[in-house]
Amino acid sequence: MDFDFYWLLLALPGAFLAGWLASRLDLRQLKREDRASPQAYFKGLNLLLNEQQDKAIDAFIEAVQHDPDTSDLHFALGNLFRRRGEYERAIRVHQHLLARADITRDERERAQHALAQDFMKAGLFDRAEDAFKALEGTAFTTDARLALLSLHERSRNWHPAIDVARQLEAAGTGSFSQRMAHHWCEVAQEADARGRADEAEQALARAREAAPQAARPLVIQGQRLLRQGDHAGALRAWDELMALQPQAFALIAMDYAQAAQASGEGPTALRKLEGLYAQAPSVEVLNAVNLLQPDERLRRQRLIEHLRHQPSLSAAQGLIRERLSSEVALDQSEIEGLQKALNTAAKPLQRYRCAACGFESQHYFWQCPGCQGWDTYPPRRLEDQ
Ligand SMILES: [Zn+2]
């Protein structure tokens, strides 16, 4: 028993040290055929363990100078530089590796990959793009394509983004159809902004093709038709949206009601909206229903009913708006609904918040349970500040 415990005592710090080391420095990159300079190399490791990164780097540089043929040491050094945010030095190390004639193909690809990551981290996106493109056909192909995809998205180059997404999907990396639909939607909106309606229409069709269930192409399609004054067309697009993505319909519910009103489709739309509200209640759909509901009593009833289940401020706002234009005083159920909404909205604001760590609580603490600080709570509730 004592013996086991003794080993446990030894093993625990050992495991901790190994984990820490692995996080600091990829150990795989350090396995090497030991040759000339294990001394400088172990000195570097030792310094790393003592959190003396500057001196560790000096030691590794010394080791590299003694033993310039060892590419693993270069990789370790380059990694260390990148992790410390010294991107220029990381880039120099990896470029130096790439320029060498004596490294294997695997090492060359690894250096190219490391260099691409350096450029990315350094914010040199043009050079990162070139470096990632050079990895096509290597063991890093998928990784490079994923990086390229986010690079293209970041710089809003939608067509190249679509190409890369297509390659990724064809290679079986996963489904990129939703993402491609977004790319095509972006293309459509940019075309519309340039006044190229035909281009926008084509792009939108491609978006629907890419992801027939996606909400955004239908949202945009309806908005475009509405801008062109085609109310019936907009309603058709959004009817489809209502069937495919009832949750997303809330985004255009009010526009839908207005389009229906403008085209004399009010009663039909009201029926559909009421059906949707019963299935997926939201304030947006409720407002749309009430826009088309001519009966004031029914409008109020709906608002009160909604407040009872979902005491949101928007619904309370709707009720107040409704009642401002009427002469009848608020009745008991309306007051209760408003109060419920106010209580819900006020609750998060009636807390105290530690100024040191942000810990929030209903009760006042002289010592914060989060950060253990004394007198770190301002004696006022959040709503009072
Ligand atoms: Zn605290």
Residues 47 and 93 in one domain: yes
Within a domain: 181? no
CA 23–ligand 1 middle distance (angstroms): 29
Residues 337 and 375 in one domain: no
Q: How far apart are CA 73 and CA 247, in angstroms?
A: 55
Residues 57 and 81 in one domain: yes
Within a domain: 319? yes
The pLDDT assigned to 37 comes to 56
**3-class DSSP assignment, residue 361:** strand
The pLDDT assigned to 291 comes to 94
Q: Which residues in the chain show pLDDT less than 50?
A: 1-5, 7-10, 12, 17-19, 21-22, 26-36
Residues 135 and 52 in one domain: yes
371 annotated to bind ligand: yes
Residues 97 and 112 in one domain: yes
Write out the residue range of the structural domain in which residue 323 sits.
295-348
Within a domain: 227? no
Structural contact between residues 250 and 256, judged by C-beta atoms closer than 8 angstroms: no
Q: How far apart are CA 355 and CA 374, in angstroms?
A: 11
Number of domains in the chain: 3
Within a domain: 101? yes
CA 350–ligand 1 middle distance (angstroms): 17
CA 83–ligand 1 middle distance (angstroms): 30
Q: Which of 139, 167, 198 is the last residue of a domain?
A: 139
Ion ligand 1: residue ranges with CB closer than 5 A: 354, 356-357, 359, 368, 370-371, 376
**DSSP state for residue 371 in the 8-state scheme:** T
Q: Give residue 267's identity as a one-letter amino acid code.
A: P
Look at residues 44, 83, 89, 87 and name the one whose alpha carbon lies nearest to residue 66.
44
The pLDDT assigned to 200 comes to 96
185 annotated to bind ligand: no
Per DSSP, helices labelled H in the chain are: 2-24, 38-49, 53-66, 71-83, 87-99, 105-122, 125-133, 141-154, 158-170, 177-193, 197-210, 215-227, 231-244, 253-262, 266-279, 283-292, 296-309, 313-324, 332-346
Within a domain: 176? no
Which run of H or E residues covers position 353? strand 352-353
Within a domain: 183? no
CA 1–ligand 1 middle distance (angstroms): 43
